[in-house]
Amino acid sequence: MSILCLALDLYRPAAAQIPGVAEESAGQIGGVPVSVWTYPSDGLKVKGLLFLPCAKDKLPLILFNHDGVSGISVEHMRASARLAQAGYAVFTPSYRGEDGSEGDIEVAAGEVRDVLNALPLLAQVPGVDGRKVAMVGVSHGALISVLAAARQSEVDAVVTADGVMDIYAWWRHLQQNGISGRDELTRRIYGDGPEDKPLAFSTRHALAQIPNLKAPVLILQGGRDDIVPAQQAITFKAKLDRARHPAKLKIYPRCRHGFLVYTPHLKNGAAPAERIETEKAWQDLLGFLEKHLKS
């Protein structure tokens, strides 16, 4: 424990005075104190990780929404700590049905509410500036970030990495390439496609939410992504441009799906060029956040 942290008394539980929130210390990652939150969302008790660096002033808040449906990976925890090291309070939700959270996995549905329901609670944390908020997400978390930002006008910045923004085109991509999921979760959410479950698609179609977005958007995309093709990012940027919404698109030609979080930790699976491009993506991300959250 540093002398500065002792002086500022920031090692007390951050959620001690917030009704409905339970908190347990999880030690540190990369020198950043981490705590496990259990908080209320739609009558469920869901979990998340709060990365709260020791700081003299209140820190801007980043909701860093993870990929997949298997909970917060170790790599995502490390990426969260890296964001926090840059001078942010970072909250990484586990979403319902994951990591011991109550409820069932819904895929960019109830998960969006889990993210939004955390915001007013986090704004009560000493050391968090709830007036400066960014949504950052990877893959599944990218879609969650856009849908959440569309419902929360006070979000100041949105960053998507390898996200499905045109769900209809993505479904066609899966069908045409013979990789559409036949697993129980995919069947439960999407059935046999848009004609079978139209509401499942329309409510997860990020392009339709562009009129509701207020915050500037940074789109990060791996050029070698074979799960979410780069055309998803290109289409999203084109639609944002057509709506005259401030947005930037960065495509990293040698990067694969989930590169922002996973490439830095691949021991043998990433070429030097991919690592270089991933680090460039991190600098692009940090520069965008600096501009919109700290200036």
Indicate whether 90 belongs to any domain.
Answer: yes
Segments forming the whole domain that contains residue 78: 3-166+205-294
Does residue 11 carry a pLDDT above 50? no
Number of domains composing the chain: 1
Domain contains 23? yes
Question: Quick check: is 188 in a domain?
Answer: no
Q: Which residue has the tokens 């947005």?
A: 247
pLDDT single digits (tens) 151-188: 999 999 999 999 999 999 999 998 888 876 678 898 99
Euclidean distance between CA atoms 56 and 254, whole angstroms: 40
Q: Is residue 126 part of a domain?
A: yes
pLDDT tens by residue, 30-52: 999 999 999 999 999 999 999 99
Assess if residue 213 is contained within a domain: yes
Of the candidates 261, 216, 259, 256, the one whose C-alpha atom is nearest the C-alpha of residue 83 is: 261
Task: Give the span between the Cα atoms of 94 and 98, in whole angstroms.
Answer: 6
Give the CATH number, domain containing residue 215. Answer: 3.40.50.1820
Q: List the structure tokens of 24.
A: 């347990």
Helix (H) or strand (E) holding 77: helix 74-85
pLDDT of residue 147: 98
Widest distance between CA atoms in the chain: 61
Residue 183 domain flag: no
The model's pLDDT over 95-133, given as tens digits with 9 standing for 90+, comes to 999 999 999 999 999 999 999 999 999 999 999 999 999
Asked whether residue 174 is assigned to any structural domain, the reply reads no
Among 130, 164, 138, CA closest to 285: 138
